[in-house]
Amino acid sequence: MKEHLPNQPRHVAIIMDGNGRWAKKRHLPREAGHYAGMGAVREVVRAATDTGLANLTLFAFSSENWKRPKTEVGALMALFRAYFRSDMDELVERNVRMRIIGHRSRVAPDIQQMIEDSEKRTIANTGMNLTFAFDYGGQEEIANAARELARAAAEGRLDPETITPELFAARLFTSALPEPDLVIRTSGERRLSNFLLWQSAYAELLFLDTLWPDFGRAELLQAMENFAARDRRFGAVSSEAVA
Structural domains in the chain?
Answer: 11-142+178-229 (3.40.1180.10)
Catalytic residue numbers read: 17, 65
User: Position 152: which residue type?
Assistant: A
* DSSP, res 28: -
Residue 3 pLDDT class (50, 70, 90 cuts): low
CA distance 221 to 136: 27
CA distance 145 to 235: 25
CA distance 53 to 103: 26
What confidence score (pLDDT) does residue 1 get? 45
Q: Is the pLDDT of residue 51 over 60?
A: yes
77-86 mean pLDDT: 94
Residue 49's Cβ-side half-sphere holds a number of Cα atoms within 13 Å equal to 20
Q: Is the pLDDT of residue 105 over 90?
A: no
Distance of CA 78 to the CA centre of its chain: 20
Residue 221 pLDDT class (50, 70, 90 cuts): very high
CA distance 215 to 43: 9
What confidence score (pLDDT) does residue 104 get? 85
User: Position 47: which residue type?
Assistant: A
Q: Taking a C-beta distance cutoff of 8 angstroms, is the pair 204, 182 a contact? A: yes
Q: What is the dihedral of CA 138, 133, 219, 185, to 10 degrees?
A: -20
3-state secondary structure 127-140: CCEEEEEEEECHHH
Q: What is the DSSP string of 165-223?
A: HHHHHTTSTTTTSPPPSEEEE-TT--S-TTSSTTTTTT-EEEE--S-GGG--HHHHHHH
pTM of the predicted structure, to 2 decimals: 0.92
pLDDT digits (tens, 9 = 90+) for 31-50: 999 999 999 999 999 999 99
CA distance 34 to 31: 5
Which of the pair, 5 or 48, is modelled with greater confidence?
48
